[in-house]
Amino acid sequence: MSDFAGLVAIVTGGASGIGLATAKLLHSRGAEVAVLDLNPDGLPNDLVGIKTDVTDDAMVKSAVDTVVERFGRLDVVVNNAGISAIGDVTGNTDEEWLRVLDVNLIGMVRVARHALPHLRRSPAAAIVNMCSIVAWAGMQKRVLYSASKGAVYALTLAMAADHLGEGIRVNCVAPGSADTPWVNRLLDKTDDPAAERAKLNARQPMGRLVTADEVAYAVAYLASPLSGASVGTILAVDGGVHGLRLRPAEQNSKY
C-alpha cells in the first residue's frame, strides 16, 4: 500500500515503542518521516531523526521548520511523545503534575501550533494524538496519567471542531496496556517480572497485551487520506479491556 506516497509526516516520541512502529509503518507506505525525540540516535537510515524536547517551544518550532525546509511540506503529525506516572491523588508532587501535563498535553499543543501553518497548505492534512483508554476507564494508581490523557481526549475533539473547516482532520488513538519498552521497564522493577507479566496478560480479554504494531496500524488508518471521513474519532486499541465484560474461562465453557 502506498497511500502516504508524496506525503511528509512527523512522529514525536518516535525512537522506540509505538512511535517507532508508527514511523516505520508510515515510511513503508510511502511517507517521508521525521522522528522528533529526546534521543533519536539509532533510528533506521530511512527515517530522519531530530533531537526535540516537546516541553521546549523553541526546539519544537525549530524541528518543525527543519522538516519543512528539508522536504518542502508537512502533511501528517502524530503526537505520540508522552510519559507516565503512578500513584493515587496523593501520590505525585506538584512538580510531577506539571511535568507530566507539560509533556503529555502541552507538548501536543506546541507541536500542533507550529505545524498548523504548514498543514493548512496540505491537501491531506491530518493530526493523530496518542490518547489512552485511561481517559475514560478508571484504573487504580493512574490519577495523574489518566488526567493528562483525559485532557488529550478533550483536546482532540476541540481541535477537530476548530480545524475541520481548514481541511485538517484531527483524531486520536487510545491504546490499552501495550507491550512496549516502557511497560517492560516497569515489570523489570518488580520482584518477579515473569509473574507480574503473567498477571498483566491474564487481565486482558485476549490474554495478551496490545502490540506496538497494532497501535501503529490504527494511527496509520486515521492519518491516511483514504480515511477522509474520520474526524474527531477516538479509536480504542485495547483488546476489549474497556468495552467487554467476559465471564471467567471456566464459566464461558458452559455456554
Question: Quick check: 252 pLDDT over 70?
Answer: no
The lowest-confidence range among 10-14, 165-169, 236-240 is: 236-240
In a domain, 221, yes or no: yes
CATH number at residue 38: 3.40.50.720
Question: Quick check: 243 pLDDT over 60?
Answer: yes
Among the options 145, 153, 221, 255, which is catalytic?
145
Report the percentage of the chain scoring pLDDT > 90.
79
Question: Quick check: 250 pLDDT over 80?
Answer: no
26-45: average pLDDT: 97
14-41: average pLDDT: 97
How many CB atoms sit inside 10 A of residue 186's CB? Answer: 15
Question: Quick check: 71 pLDDT over 90?
Answer: yes
Q: Scan for cell 491523588, then name that residue.
A: 89
Cell matching residue 105: 498535553
In a domain, 144, yes or no: yes
Domain range holding 141? 8-178+211-239
Q: Considering the entire predicted model, what is its pTM? A: 0.93
Q: Is 217 a catalytic residue?
A: no
Report the percentage of the chain scoring pLDDT > 70.
97
Q: Scan for cell 488526567, then name that residue.
A: 147
| Alpha-carbon gap, residue 172 to 78, rounded angstroms | 9
In a domain, 96, yes or no: yes
Beta strand residue intervals within 123-247, DSSP E: 126-130, 169-175, 178-179, 210-211, 234-237
The pLDDT of residue 246 is 81
**Phi, psi torsion values for 223, nearest 5 degrees:** -80, -20
pLDDT tens-place string over residues 154-194:
999 999 999 999 999 999 999 998 888 777 877 787 888 88
Q: State the total domains in the chain.
A: 1
CA 217 to chain centre: 12
| Alpha-carbon gap, residue 222 to 50, rounded angstroms | 24
In a domain, 97, yes or no: yes
In a domain, 34, yes or no: yes
**Phi, psi torsion values for 90, nearest 5 degrees:** -95, 0
